[in-house]
Amino acid sequence: MPVNDDRSWNENDLNAKLQEAKSAGIKYLIFHLSMGTTMFESVDHTSLIKRVTEKNNFDFFIHVDAAFGGFIYPFTSSDRDLTFENPLITSITIDGHKMLQAPYGTGIFICRKGFIENTRTVEASYVQGTDFTLCGSRSGANAIAVWMILMTHGYEGWKYQMQKLIDRTDHICETLDELKISYYRHPNMNIIAIKAHGIKPEIAKKYHLVADDFQNPKWWKIVTMMHVEKRLIDEFLLDLHQSVLN
C-alpha cells in the first residue's frame, strides 16, 4: 500500500481499499500495524484506523508487529498508542533475538485475555492436546534467557542502554545532515535508511550496510546496536565525509 513521505499510511488509498472490501461483502478486518518496519523503522498509529473504520462501519482487530521495535521504542518514547494501554490493541509480537539479543528464534506473542484460544492448532498431531506456545518441541531455554536478560538489566537499566543507542544514532544523523545526505529515521529508533545515491558502493560493502534490494538498491540501512563501538561509527563517518569531498 502506498505510504506518505513520513512513511505513514495513505488515507485516501486505505479508504479506497476498504470500499472495495465492503463491496465484496467483507465485514471484519485485522489490521497489522508495525512498531518499527524492517527497512525504515517507521511506526504506525491507530488514529487513522479508527477514523476510517468508523466511517466505513467495519468491525476490526489490531495486531502489532513489534519484532524489532518492541524492545526499544517503549523505552525511548512516551507514545503508548501501540500498547495494551490502548483498548484497540488485541495482540502484539516481539522478537527477543533482535534488540534483546536472546538466542535466535525467541519469538514472543502476547494477547488480551480471551483471545489465546484463537492461536491453538491441531496440526501437530504428535503433541498431546492442542498446540500452544510453550509445548511440543519449543525450547523453554529461550524463555529463560529472555527472563534472565530482563532481570539483569531491569527497566531503568534497559532504558539507559536504549538511550545510548539513540544518542549514537543521533550522532550519525548529525553528520548526514552536515553532508546533506538524504535519509529517513524515526527519532525514537536506532535505524537510519539512507538514500542509495548518498553512499558509494565500496563504503556500503566495507561496513556491511543492508540494502532494500541488493540487485538495485534505493536505500542502505544502518542499525546501531550495543556491540557497534563508537570507534567504528567514527571510522564510517570519516570515510563517508571523504567520499563526499572526492
Total domains, the chain: 2
pLDDT at 96 over 70: yes
Domain match, 135 and 218 both: no
What range does the domain containing 96 cover? 11-151
Residue 6 covered by a domain = no
Q: Structure pTM?
A: 0.87
pLDDT tens figures, 51-65: 988 888 888 999 999
Please tell me the distance from the alpha carbon of residue 22 to that of residue 165, in angstroms, as a whole number: 44
* 64 and 124 together in one domain: yes
pLDDT mean over 198-205: 93
Asked if residue 230 and residue 189 are part of one domain, the reply reads: yes
Q: How far apart are CA 211 and CA 220, in angstroms?
A: 5
Task: Read off the CATH number of the domain in which 228 is found.
Answer: 3.90.1150.10
DSSP summary character for residue 32: E
Express each pLDDT in 21-55 by its tens digit: 989 999 899 999 999 998 898 999 999 999 988 88
Residues in the chain: 246
- Torsion on CA atoms 121, 108, 48, 59, rounded to nearest 10: 20
**Residue 4 located in a structural domain:** no
- Strand duo 191-195 + 59-65: pairing: unpaired
> CB neighbours (10 Å) of residue 170?
13
Q: Which of 100, 130, 151 is the last residue of a domain?
A: 151
pLDDT for the residue 93: 95
H, E, C per residue of 158-226: HHHHHHHHHHHHHHHHHHHHHCCCCEECCCCCCEEEEEHHHCCHHHHHHCCCEECCCCCCCEEEEECCC
121 and 185 share a domain? no
Determine, yes or no, domain membership for 15: yes
Strand, helix or coil at 34? strand
Are residues 95 and 185 part of one domain?
Answer: no
Helices and strands counted in the chain (H then E): 6, 8
Residues 145 and 76 in one domain: yes
- Quick check: 220 pLDDT over 90? yes
CA pair distance 93, 99, nearest whole angstrom: 13
For residue 102, give the DSSP letter.
P
